[in-house]
Structure 1
């Protein structure tokens, strides 16, 4: 992550973060992707019918704490995750980046996304919106919360997410 000299997060800064993150995830450079996250980062995929739900009171598709997220990455990078062996190929498009709130050391940014997953002879498309809570750590903006809200009515074909959205 590049050091940002501005006092608050700009749209250009947020765009660089989203684009860098998408590239790392598409290239399955998950250990490098983890370095974009704060030590207390959360990865959330809320229920399809309640994108603004609270993970403490609703059943999320994914609600990973730092320990769970590290375990997820280790499984994805190893051979034990049968759903991702061989691993999916993905391609992300991130657009309409905007800064929702910006302070000196914390910010919230959002972007629309489309993720194509190619695996087992089939292609699936996931469309939605990212909302990231960012925190400045040693001059870099890191992701403290990553919320991927899907616009889909149902997860098809298997009703599960086997990769990091």
Structure 2
């Protein structure tokens, strides 16, 4: 369930945390179509290369640089039986902690909220366990139906992705 917010209220860390936890649950239970509903129409989903975390998608190579259309296509692929890397689906466990609201915590809900959080995502597939560690950077926006993700950027802390082999799941 996506937490809804009264437009006359202010954003608190607890509200933001509930939103992030709901997102993590959707990913862990492979409710990807529902997860897409968390995104604003102009949303961006980015994963820069781990050797250039400050990379700009307009000039630097990215592991993932999706707008909402590409994100929908990614979800369609992952939901398909033809997505051999993810069928049957991996089991995942998204852990989110150290949530920080970087903008004024008393900002009105109509403002864009900048949020950072640490994460660990565990992936279990075919008897192999992989761990992804890093930082989430969000820009959240209010809508009539609750918070929406305007931007989600995932900075991986690992210096070598060979140990995890791929990033086929949604972080």
Query: The TM-score by the shorter chain falls in which range?
Result: over 0.9
Partner residue of 1:93? 95
Query: Is residue 40 from structure 1 mapped to residue 46 from structure 2 by the alignment?
Result: no
Deviations 1:57-107 (A, max 9, x none): 111111111111000000101112111111111001110111011443211
The secondary structure found in structure 2 opposite 1:51 is coil
Q: In structure 1, how many angstroms separate the alpha carbons of the residues matched to 2:63 and 2:166? A: 8
Deviations 1:104-151 (A, max 9, x none): 321111110000001122000000010111111115111011111110
Q: In structure 1, how many angstroms separate the alpha carbons of the residues matched to 2:159 and 2:83? A: 26
The answer to whether the Cα contact below 8 Å between 1:14 and 1:98 also exists between their aligned partners in 2 is no
Partner residue of 1:28? 30
> Kindly tell me: are residues 100 and 87 of structure 1, through their superposed partners in 2, closer, same or farther at Cα, counting changes over 3 Å?
same
The answer to whether the Cα contact below 8 Å between 2:46 and 2:154 also exists between their aligned partners in 1 is yes
Report the Cα offset of residue 42 of structure 1: 1.1
Q: Give me the CA root mean square deviation.
A: 1.4
Q: Mind listing any 5+ residue stretches in structure 1 that lack a counterpart?
A: none
Q: Mind listing any 5+ residue stretches in structure 2 that lack a counterpart?
A: none
The answer to whether the Cα contact below 8 Å between 2:122 and 2:131 also exists between their aligned partners in 1 is yes
Name the count of aligned residue pairs: 165
> Kindly tell me: are residues 158 and 11 of structure 1, through their superposed partners in 2, closer, same or farther at Cα, counting changes over 3 Å?
closer
Query: Is residue 146 from structure 1 mapped to residue 152 from structure 2 by the alignment?
Result: yes
Report the Cα offset of residue 52 of structure 1: 2.1
Q: In structure 2, how many angstroms separate the alpha carbons of the residues matched to 1:17 and 1:110? A: 13
Partner residue of 1:59? 61
Q: Select 2:141's aligned residue among 135, 144, 160.
A: 135
